[in-house]
Each structure stands twice: as C-alpha cells, then as structure tokens.
Amino acid sequence: MIQIKKITGELLREMDCESLSCVNLSGANLCHADLSGANLCRADLSGANLYRAYLYRANLCRADLSGANLSDADLSGANLCRADLSGANLSDANLYRAYLYRANLCRADLSGANLYRAYLSGANLSDANLYRANLSGANLYRANLCRANLYRANLCRADLCRADLCRADLCRADLSGANLSDADLSGANLSDADLSCAIINWNSHDLISAILLQHSIDVEKRMIADFILASRNMCWKDFMRIEHKEKQWAIDTLKTYIVDGDCHPHFLD
C-alpha cells in the first residue's frame, strides 16, 4: 500500500501497489502532492493536475505527463528522461538541474520556469512557450526549439550547439556567452538579443545580419546587413568580392564577436 500525501502531510490518496512505477494516474488530482523522490518511471500522468506538487528528484523517466498541470511544481533534479510533457503546463515550475534528455516538451508552457543548468540535449521544445524562462547554463545540444517563444529568455552560457532555432522568437533574449556553433537560426527573430561573448555560427546569414543590424546607425550600414540576410546562397568568399563603402565597417564590427576556437573566417584575423 502506498500513501500519497500533500506537502502539508494531509492524506491525498492510497494506492494498492508496491511502487508507483508504471501506474495509471491519468487525470488524477495530485494538487500540492508530495512525490519527492518517488519512482514514477513509465507512469501515466497524462492530464493529471500536479499544480504546485513537490517532485524533487523524482524518477519520471519515460512518464506520460502530456497535458499535465505542473504549474509551480518543484521538479529540481528530477529524472524526466524521454518523458512526454507535450502540451503540459510548467509555467513557473522549478526544473533546476532536471534531466530532460530527449523529453517531449512540444507546445509546453514553460513561461517563467527555472531551467538553470537543466539537461535538455535532444529535447523537443518546438512551439514551446519559454517566455522569460531561465535557461542559463542549460544543455540544449541538438534540441528542437523550432518556433519556440524565447522572448526575454535567459540563455546566458547555454549550450545551443546544433540546436534547431528555426523561426524561434529570441527577441531581447540573453544569449551572452551562449554556444551557437552550428545552430540553425533560419528565420529567427534576434532583434535586441544580447550576443556578447557568444560563440557565433559564422555560417548563419540570420545571425550575422542580426549582429550588423544591432550596430547599424544609418541606412548604408543597414543595407549591407539586409543584403547578407537576402543573399543566402552567398559564402564569405563572395562577400569579400563585393564593393560597398560599408564593407570594412561590417568586417570591423564582426571582429569584435570573435572568441577563441569559434572557427571564424580567416579574413577576420
């Protein structure tokens, strides 16, 4: 017999089983439940209400949490490897150092969530709402962030190497010190994003154009930034052949974004 109690100690429900692994809790009301350290591996929690639940270091590996209400929940250090959190409400949830390897967070609401140093390598965050989320130091290697809302998100020192940020909204996001090498930023909104000390993907027309636009103070400078964005078939060798009075300004501006080991074009040395 397993007893599930609220954080306050009040009995929430009893279950005639020895473990919560593989149990069916779909649609269950577990509001304010204390499930800290519980083994919920492969459990079905789809559509469950876990509002403000305490799931610190819980094992939710491969759990079905699709559509679940986990708003304000404490999932710090939780194992959510390959968990299905599609469409889940994780707004303001604490996912500090949570393990979310290849988790499905498609269309999930993670607005205001704390994902500081969370492991999200290979996770699906397409169409997710990460407005003002804290992803500082998070591992997002090869993560799918296509069309994700990252407006004002904190991605300081985050690893976004090879991440798919196609059409993502990164307006006013903090990308300082982030690793953007080989990231796909096609169609991404990078207006007013902080790219200081970031490892740049020097083959991204969108990123190079966004950097130059941030420093454009007149029409001529803006024209060269727009030209780079529009000429997606152009390589750096082609760029060096063009004649434009602001070409040297563009080169000097880009030089300020060089960091050690970022594979920048040799002509910027």
pLDDT at residue 85 tops 80: yes
pLDDT computed for residue 226 by the predictor: 92
Return the residue matching tokens 């063009």: 242
Instruction: Return d(Cα 183, Cα 174) in angstroms, integer.
Output: 16
Delimit the domains of the chain by residue range: 209-268
pLDDT computed for residue 217 by the predictor: 87
Banded pLDDT at 267 (limits 50, 70, 90): confident
The predicted model gives 62-72 an average pLDDT of 96
> How far lies 260's CA from each of 159, 185, 195, in Å?
16, 22, 15
pLDDT > 70: what percent of the chain? 100
Question: Do the beta carbons of residue 77 and residue 97 sit within 8 Å?
Answer: yes
Instruction: Return d(Cα 111, Cα 126) in angstroms, integer.
Output: 14
The predicted model gives 87-94 an average pLDDT of 97
Could you tell me the two tokens for 30? Answer: 């577990």
Q: Report which DSSP code applies to 137.
A: T
> How far lies 45's CA from each of 40, 155, 178, in Å?
9, 29, 34
DSSP string, 227-264: HHHH-TT--HHHHHH---TTHHHHHHHHHTT--TTS--
What count of other Cβ atoms lies within 10 Å of the Cβ of residue 13?
13
Instruction: Return d(Cα 90, Cα 74) in angstroms, integer.
Output: 10
Q: What is the pLDDT of residues 168-221, one digit of tens each?
A: 999 999 999 999 999 999 999 999 999 999 999 999 999 999 999 999 989 989
Q: Report which DSSP code applies to 159.
A: B
pLDDT computed for residue 269 by the predictor: 83
Beta carbons within 8 Å of 109's beta carbon, 6+ residues apart: 88, 89, 90, 91, 128, 129
Instruction: Return d(Cα 204, Cα 223) in angstroms, integer.
Output: 17
pLDDT at residue 238 tops 90: no
The predicted model gives 5-29 an average pLDDT of 88
